Structure 1
Amino acid sequence: MTADRWVSVSSARAVAGDSAGTAAATARAVEEARAGRPAALLLVMARWDLDLRAVARGAQEAAGGAVVAGTSTTTTFAGRADAPADVVVTALGGPGLEARAAASTAADPFARGAEVAAACRGAERAHATHVLLPAGTDGQQQAVVRGAYSELGPGVPIVGGGSDGDLVAFRSWQLLGGQVLENALVGVTIATDRPLGVGAAHGLHRVGDPLVVTDSDGLTVRALDGRPALDVYLERLSALLGEDCAAASLAPGRLAALGYAHPLGLVRRRREEVRTVTGTDPVARTLSFVSEVPLGSLVHVMAGDEEQMVAGAGEACEQAVAALEGADPVGMVVFSCVARRELLSSTGHVREARSALTAAATDDVVLSYSCGEIARVSGAAGCHNQTVVALAL
């Protein structure tokens, strides 16, 4: 705790199908996090197969007037826990902090981001940070960020993560107050008297020469360097791995695993943004993505082992703390990626979460695995895959 703000993280166990028990467990987690204090914001992350209406009801009933916002997840670590929690509540409060939240179900993703950002205006504080919790499966996060940016302008950092959920059915859920929305957007503006800190890093490294995206509609890349994208990509993997990676010689599961292990790095002017290869078409010879890879982009094939990825998580958290301009953090909210979850071992998951504890020097830390990560500090872009994004408070 500092004089102007405090953060407290609490977790609860819940059982799918037990609505009353889930509501009660969530309420207890809220009460433990608040500890009798008036909170400005309760950020709730809950396992998607629970009764999320019960989660929202339990949180709202115990909120004591705080804004309640949240998202569905599959894997969330709280504090020093060695295993994921079912429901995690992060409470924020103090005289130097206030929060406003809104939701949108607009069909157009740009309008969704703009609507939420505009609705969250109004707090008169020196600094603001906008947290976005969008649907994680629709491939529209960059448009959502651009919409929010159109209202917020360059001076407001944007951070967040796409909701994890039923990835087979492409469904995820967002919470606002006592309401549960499906495949929508919830945004929260945290207004403060001194800045919050944002960091982003992945720990992966470039392999080989760069490639130019010569045919793309954004989410489907048809050509790299003027040739079928899948052919070029698999040739690069064959050279890297020393094995035949032609599509005809690979089992579908192996090809999917290679796409996770070797994403593309999209070169931006100030940074590099990772793009996970989420699908391939052996007939059209294309690569598919859930975050856009624009026509004309320069990209690299990426690689990295567990040690490098865990180090990248630590770097993101350290960046976030450094952005506090010398103030000690009182807590941290971290978004990692579901693709990283698949690549890391169980001990790697815990080490990634512990990197935030080390950087923040507090147990009031939460790490949730998301479908796409958001960190916009400069420029209008800011969508990432296989990246750790940290918000230091």
Structure 2
Amino acid sequence: MPVEIPAPRPAAATATEPLRTGVGYSDAADAVEAGRAAAAEALAGLQGYPPELIIVYTSVSYDLIALLHAVRRATGKAPLVGATTSGQFHDGRLIDPGLGVSVLALSAGRYRFGVASVTGVTEDGDDAGQRLARAARAAAGPEPTPHAALLLLTTGLAGHQQELLNGVHRVLGAPVPVVGGSAGDDRLLIRTCVFENDNVLTDGGAAGVWIASPDPLSVVAEHGWYDVGLPLLVTKSDGLVIQEIAGRPAAEVFREHFHDDVDFERPGLIKPAPGYLSAYAFGLIQPDGSKLVRGAYIDEDGQLKTFSPLPLYAPVQIVSCRAEDLLRVTGDVVRRSLAGRDASVLLAFSCVARLDVLAEQGAREAALIQDAAGEVTTFGFYTYGEFARTTRVAGYHNATLTAIAL
């Protein structure tokens, strides 16, 4: 499948020039007005420096083509990526699902950016990941830099996110970390979109930004979930359906770990099916003992399903969390991301499941991120899954906070 690779853009500043940032936001009802206003405010923050990367996060409620064209008319030929969301946050402010568009404008500073996109994630995620990694790297230009990272945005309902990462890893290997998130759609679970320049990609699309850097780039992820049972093995599965755990019916094993006061009807939760609970999930045990959180739910037929397949014989633990557990890790993620860096912006990705668990405390996560970042600009969105691949192939998460500082 052909991939269109945009011509490389030369950096507009020297390697010693600091990265300039500008953030704009609008909740205007009209897509054109909202896009134009948010883009203009973001560009004003650059104080005359030319934009070298534009990132757009928006509610799916807009006419997305009209909104994107309005942003592009303001920002010109600067490479652009973005995603629909289930909430956004920047500068300590939470933008609830269903509202507004946020735009981040970045100058070049010490970095070079290369933007690309692919389709076909659902058909062959591994191949799509390979194509995207090669295209984004090529778009950044031929001049090598010692270090790089890949910012990855995907449609959130494709269901093949780890396969996409597998393909990226085949091309880039362990030295290039990957960070990003899967697009949301204001909790509707109907259609998610990602953006690349003038293109709006729906299910099966992915966009990437190659970030070429003279210094190492660090991707950080923490979740705050805790074990509520002993390690178990997935003994029978079929795609997204987990049929048996430890030789027993999977849904039965999953339910055994629920607390007595479980409320299946609390309003505001994403409910892909009756029986979904944001506060219970699987912890996929990694070789070093850490866990990747994978969301799960019991559907109307009593089947236990996940949002990304769990491998047969995968070691797992049922995990749970409370609002205070999720908030506890927030400052640590930010501080670790910023450690040793003279950063200008923190790009963060948090799961809408975290927002569900936080409930009336939802705004605290964005505030804590900004408190820990100090004067550094913060910019992020609530996802249907997060990417944080560091030294190993695995790196697709649910209900996790991930970040990178530039």
Could you tell me which residue of structure 1 aligns to residue 380 of structure 2? 367
2:130 counterpart of 1:114: yes
2:348 counterpart of 1:317: no
Shift of 1:25: 1.7
| Contact 1:9/1:78, CA 8 A, preserved across alignment | no
Could you tell me which residue of structure 2 aligns to residue 275 of structure 1? 294
In structure 2, distance between residues paired with 1:87 and 1:172: 15
Between Structure 1 and Structure 2, how many residues are aligned?
377
Relative distance call for 1:24 and 1:255 in structure 2 (3 A) is closer
Could you tell me which residue of structure 2 aligns to residue 301 of structure 1? 318
Gap runs ≥5 in structure 2 = 1-14, 265-269
**Residue among 50, 55, 67 paired with 1:55:** 67
Could you tell me which residue of structure 2 aligns to residue 249 of structure 1? none
Gap runs ≥5 in structure 1 = 247-251
2:282 counterpart of 1:264: yes
Shift of 1:64: 4.4
**Residue among 79, 82, 103 paired with 2:117:** 103
18-27 or 39-48, larger mean C-alpha shift = 18-27
Could you tell me which residue of structure 1 aligns to residue 207 of structure 2? 186
Shift of 1:301: 1.3
Q: Which amino acid aligns with 1:267?
A: I
Shift of 1:175: 1.1
TM-score with structure 2 length normalisation?
A: 0.86
Q: Which amino acid aligns with 1:131?
A: L
In structure 2, distance between residues paired with 1:243 and 1:13: 40
In structure 2, distance between residues paired with 1:231 and 1:43: 43
SS, match of residue 294 in structure 1: coil
Shift of 1:216: 1.5
For residues 226-249 of structure 1, the C-alpha deviation after alignment (integer angstroms, 9 at most, x for no partner) is 000011111222xxx246999xxx
In structure 1, distance between residues paired with 2:366 and 2:38: 22
Shift of 1:172: 0.8
User: CA-atom RMSD, angstroms?
Assistant: 2.5
Shift of 1:4: 4.0
Could you tell me which residue of structure 2 aligns to residue 330 of structure 1? 344
Relative distance call for 1:342 and 1:214 in structure 2 (3 A) is same
For residues 202-247 of structure 1, the C-alpha deviation after alignment (integer angstroms, 9 at most, x for no partner) is 111111211111111342110011000011111222xxx246999x
In structure 2, distance between residues paired with 1:245 and 1:386: 19
**Residue among 148, 165, 188 paired with 2:168:** 148
SS, match of residue 130 in structure 1: strand
Could you tell me which residue of structure 1 aligns to residue 149 of structure 2? 129
In structure 2, distance between residues paired with 1:316 and 1:264: 21
Shift of 1:66: 2.0
For residues 159-207 of structure 1, the C-alpha deviation after alignment (integer angstroms, 9 at most, x for no partner) is 1100011654531111111221212111111111112221101111111
In structure 1, distance between residues paired with 2:162 and 2:190: 18
Could you tell me which residue of structure 1 aligns to residue 25 of structure 2? 12
Shift of 1:126: 1.4
Shift of 1:267: 0.3
Structure having the higher helix fraction is 1
2:60 counterpart of 1:42: no
